[in-house]
Amino acid sequence: MPELVVTALLAPSRLTLKLLRAFMWSLVFSAALVAAAVYGCIALTHVLCRPRRGCCGRPRRTPPACLNDPTLGEHCFLTLKSSGVHLHYVSAGRGNGPLMLFLHGFPENWFSWRYQIREFQSHFHVVAVDLRGYGSSDAPSDMDCYTIDLLMADIQDVILGLGYSKCILVAHDWGALLAWNFSIYYPSLVERMVVVSAAPMSVYQDYSMRHISQFFRSNYVFLFQLPWLPEKLLSMSDFQILKTTLTHRKRGIPHLTPNELEAFLYDFSQPGGLTGPLNYYRNLFRNFPLEPQELATRTLLLWGEKDPYLEQGLVGAISSRFVPGRLEAHILPGVGHWIPQSNAEEMHQYMWTFLQDLLN
């Protein structure tokens, strides 16, 4: 068929897709402006209630001692083959078994896996990374350095760069979004997967289109589409919005100590410390609309019944995309979003059972 005819036949579909994307972006930025107004009021209230803290975040001069706890393992750096980016990671239990690779979420870092590092280093080589843009890892300022494709290449480079051909991938929040995608495009590198509090992007997209209430739970995502303003709002009153997110009585991490809170705030308080993590969100809608994808990697999914950011209905939506018999899902009663830290023992029990045959 002549190329001109093919182009003519595809023109209506291409135009429709362009119009759909334009409509989507108009909605996203409208929602972003509304979210900016709401979060602006919240940040201003924090400043007025705590005037001594001022409008800017206080840069921390030294990291808290818990970030250098020798019982959590050895601090190392790896230069990634694909990009030359230097990633920081904490390693423990090398030689004790298969690679167990941990991917954290926002607003966290490798330290969010402290309980799992201690629990599993006796039978696995546990590695908790600071994802690109976080902690001591390189943090390019360009938004285009945080596309899903580049972030998945980082995971591949970590696995191969550590000398392994596959891993057990354990991930939470944003790390779990990457893990879902990674298991689809690099299935040979993932032996098992443990996912906590996150849905595949295509599942989240389709579910949110049918359940508008999920958009309201994830309202901060729209704020983060804007340039520079989110960084300013999150840092006001010495990062009070982040502090509230992590320590709130109902929605935060239970029993988080001041020292542990500082372990997360330390790197965000450094110049440009928030831009890299927020650039993950700024690339979130880049490939919209997403096609449904079949999920086949053997996966343990843990979900909090009281997760304030994600509805329970997403678990059923995830299950519907799986090859039968490949997903084991558990909804934890009365539990929120931060399962690796708030319900570590319960998570460990599910993981040991799920991985038992690998140990044998």
- Which sequence positions are flagged as catalytic? 173, 281, 337
Residues paired with residue 86 on neighbouring β-strands, in sequence order: 79
* CA nearest to 153, candidates 83, 77, 79: 83
Residue 130: partners with Cβ closer than 8 Å, 6 or more residues away: 87, 88, 89, 104, 109, 110, 136, 137
Contacts of 132 (CB under 8 A, 6+ apart): 85, 87, 138, 139, 140, 145, 146, 150, 151, 154, 276
Q: Which amino acid is at 71?
A: T
> Rounded distance, CA 210 to CA 31, Å?
17
Per-residue exposure over 88-113, b if at least 16 CB sit within 10 Å of its own CB, e if not: bbbbbbbeebbbbbbbbbbbbbbbbb
Question: Is the separation of the CB atoms in 299 and 187 below 8 Å?
Answer: no
Q: Where are the alpha helices (DSSP H) in 50-122?
A: 114-120
The identity of residue 217, as a single letter, is R
Quickly count helices (H) and strands (E) in the chain: 13, 8
